[in-house]
Amino acid sequence: MHYTGTIWRPPYEASSLLLEVTAGCTYHQCKFCTLYHDLPFKFRITPLEDIEADLKEVKNLLGAESHLTVSRTFLTGANPFALNTARLLKIADLIRQHFPGNKTIGCFSRITDITTKTDEDLKQLKHAGYNDLTIGMETGDDQALAFMHKGYTAKDIITQCQRLDAADIHYTFFYLTGISGAGQGKTGAKRTAEICNQLHPQRIGANMLTIYPNSQLYQEIQKKTWEEESEIEKYEELKVLVEHLQIPVYFGALGASNAIPIQGILPEDKEKILTVLDQIISNVSEQRLRIYRTTLRHL
C-alpha cells in the first residue's frame, strides 16, 4: 500500500478501508498542529495509478468475496476534501469499480475545502458516496480561531456546514479542548455549543490540546503571548460544552489526548457525562493529569 508517514484516522473509521489519496495538509498554518511534520513535503496528491494499485492489492488480499467485505472507505491525508470535485468523483469511480459493495466514502475536511465546492458539486459528491466527513472545527470561538490561525470564522463553520446539511452530507466535528487558552475555556465552550446547536453533526469528538515543542504555539508560550489552560480547566471547559449542547448528538472524548475516555449520546447521557466530568474535576489531581499530558509522546 502507498501509505506515507503517520496515517491518522478517527476512532470510528477503524473498520474502513484506509486509502491514501493525499498525504499531508494543504494548509499547514494552525499554530498548535504538528500532525504532519514527519513528511518531507507539505502536501502531495497521490497519483491515480497508485490509488488503483492499492485498490487492486486490497482486492487480491481479500479474495473473491471482497465486494462483501469493504462497505466503507476512508481517504487518508489531512484534508482530501480539498481535491477538486472531478478528482473526488474519479476516486469514487475507482473504488466502485474494485469494490461494488462499497457504500460510503469519508475523509477529513477543512471548512475551507467545502467553500470551494458549489452546491451542485456537493450533490454530485453525495450521490457518488461521499458521506460522514470529519471536520476539525476545533472551536466556535472567533478569537481562538483567529489566534490559532485556523483560516475561517465561526460564521464560516455555520455557512459551510448548513450547505453540507442541505446536500445531506453527514459530518462529525472534532473539538479541541484548551484552544481558547487560560481563563477563556468556558467562554470558548459556550460559543462552540452555540454554533453546534445551529447544525446537525452526527458526532462531536473532543481532543485535548497537547503542545509539542515543534509547534508555533509552543513559541507563543515561550514569548508569553499565550497561556495554556490547566488540565482541570480543560475538564471544566468540556463540562460547559456538554452542558450547553442542545442537539441530539454522540459525544466522545476518546483519542490519546484525553487522559480519561468519556462517551455517551446526548441528551440521554448528559447527566451521566456531567457526573463523570465532575468526579474528574473533584477527585483527580492537576499533577496527575499534567504528568499524563507531558509524557504523551505522540497523539
Site string for ligand SF4, 82-121 (x = CB under 6 A): ----------------------------x-----------
Kindly tell me which of 30 and 114 has the beta carbon lying closer to ligand SF4: 30
Nearer to ligand SF4, 99 or 152 (CB): 152
Bin 47: left if φ > 0, else alpha if -120 < ψ < 50, else beta.
beta
Distances 53 to 50, 58, 61, 123, 240 between C-alpha atoms, Å: 5, 9, 12, 28, 47
* Neighbour order of strands in the sheet with 72-76: 17-20, 72-76, 104-109, 133-138, 171-177, 203-208, 249-253, 262-266
Binding mask 25-54 for ligand SF4 (x = CB under 6 A): x-xxxx--x-xx------------------
Q: How far is the CB of 148 from ligand SF4 (least distance, A)?
A: 9
Task: Report how many residues bind ligand SF4 under the rule CB under 6 A.
Answer: 11
Which of these segments, 23-31, 86-94, 188-196, 291-299, binds ligand SF4 (CB under 6 A)?
23-31
Print the binding letters for residues 132-171 with ligand SF4: x by CB under 6 A, - otherwise.
----x-----------------------------------
Q: Which is nearer to ligand SF4, 25 or 161 (CB)?
A: 25
Give least dist CB 79 to ligand SF4, A.
Answer: 6
Smallest separation, CB 5 to ligand SF4 (Å): 12
Smallest distance, ligand SF4 to C-beta of residue 194, A: 22
Give the nearest distance from C-beta 136 to ligand SF4 in angstroms.
Answer: 5
Residue from 55, 70, 78, 122 binding ligand SF4 (CB under 6 A)? 78
Complex with ligand SF4: residue 102 or 139, whichever CB lies closer: 139
Measured from the CB atom, the residue of 39 and 254 that comes closer to ligand SF4 is 39
Question: Interface residues with ligand SF4 (CB under 6 A)?
Answer: 25, 27-30, 33, 35-36, 78, 110, 136
